[in-house]
Structures are given as structure tokens and as C-alpha cells.
Amino acid sequence: MTKIRHQLLALLVAYSALYGSYAMAQSIAEPEIATETVGSKFTSAASQLANTVTSSVVGGTEGLIDNAMQLIGVRYRWGGNTPKSGLDCSGFVRYVFNDTFGFLLPRKSAQMSQVGLEVNKEQLKPGDLVFFNTMRHAFSHVGIYVGDNKFIHAPSRGKSIRVDDMTKAYWVKRYDGARRLDGSDAMTEEQRQQLLLDYQERIEKSGRL
């Protein structure tokens, strides 16, 4: 699958998760041009892809995992968004998905836990997001499943991005579930609108998704 196809596929996933609430989001007090720009981008991408690809990101996991592995050793930094500055757990996941597929996930791990389709631990596939309770509240940590009960993540302050074994007692005790980005989600309308606004802000600042 080519890089362009990855980006188009990812845009369709974003479209699937967000376009259902787009009409409602239009009523929010945003500049008319900005909302029209977002709508046209999403609609154009959907029309190009609707009959040619599925709404699953799983098919592009080879590139996703490869990009993630290249970041092994990058230092952890709370609130970090780039490898140069350092990355926290959600910043790492967000960076890898954006670099691979060309779209942004929500910034916080708890928000990421509402995107995609919930999957059982026994059904995990490479590329799935895995969540853990490491800060005494649900979905406070996130990583990317790479197969064979392993996941890659940015652990904590003073450490660096690495691969860990989910069968170890520490992670088994704190496991919170997993999500697969296949176009399905359990987001509320309010969450959908907020995520759409995040995309609008991205376009307004950089001119691209």
C-alpha cells in the first residue's frame, strides 16, 4: 500500500468517525470559511475512497509499526509532541499515527480510548491501541500493540520509548482494554464535535490535516 493510499485511508477513518456530527458542528460559532474547508476536504476524500478501500487502518500496520520502532530510545517528556522535544505516551501514539497515516488522534490517552472499535485482549492485532491504568485513573496510559503480547510505548519520566511484555504482572494488573481504528467508535456527539474542532484548528494553523 503506497504512502498516498495510507493517507487517504486514514482520512476516511477520520471522516467515518467525525462526519456523522459534522452538520451539528456547523452550528458552532466558527468562521464560515473554516467549516466549509473542513467539510470539503472530508467530503472529497470520502468520494474518492468510498468504493475502493475499507475503513480499516489495520492493513497499513507494517508502516505504522516500522515508524514506531524507529522511535525506540527517544526520551520521555510529559506533554512532548515530537521526537526532538521528547514524547509522552499519548504524544508518541499520536505522532506515529500522524506520521504514518497523515491524521491526528485526540491528544489525551483517555480521549483515544473512545476512538475506534473495542477489541478483546485475545483478539489483539498489531496496530491496536492498548490502554493501562498507571496513574490511578482509567486509560491513563496508551501504547501500540506490536504482536506476540508486546507493545511499544513511552513509559514514564526518566525513561525512553521501548517495547514491553504485556504478560508481565505489572501490565496485566493495570490493563484497561484496547481499541482498533476501523471506523467504529463509541464517542458521544459532544466528543465528536470537539474532535472535529481539533481538526479545524489543525487546518487553520497549518493548512493541512
Instruction: Enumerate the H helices of the chain as residue ranges.
Output: 3-18, 22-25, 32-49, 61-69, 89-101, 109-112, 169-174, 189-206
Which cell is 149 given?
A: 503480547
- Indicate which residue of 38, 113, 128, 141 is catalytic: 141
Q: Which pLDDT belongs to residue 133? A: 96
Instruction: Pick the more confident residue, 157 or 3.
Output: 157
d(CA 88, CA 90): 6
d(CA 186, CA 199): 19
Mean pLDDT of 190-205: 60
How many distinct structural domains can be found in the chain?
Answer: 1
Q: How many other C-beta atoms are found inside a 10 Å radius of the C-beta of residue 164?
A: 15
Q: Which pLDDT belongs to residue 122? A: 94
- Indicate which residue of 18, 65, 89, 195 is catalytic: 89
Q: Is 18 a catalytic site residue?
A: no
pLDDT digits (tens, 9 = 90+) for 49-100: 333 333 335 457 788 999 999 999 999 999 999 999 999 999 999 999 999 9
The CATH number covering residue 196 comes to 3.90.1720.10
Banded pLDDT at 116 (limits 50, 70, 90): confident
* Residue 139 lies in domain: 3-206
Mean pLDDT of 97-124: 91
Contacts of 103 (CB under 8 A, 6+ apart): 7, 10, 11, 13, 14, 97, 199, 209
Mean pLDDT of 108-134: 94
Whether residue 4 has pLDDT greater than 50? no
Q: Is 141 a catalytic site residue?
A: yes
- Indicate which residue of 6, 94, 153, 192 is catalytic: 153
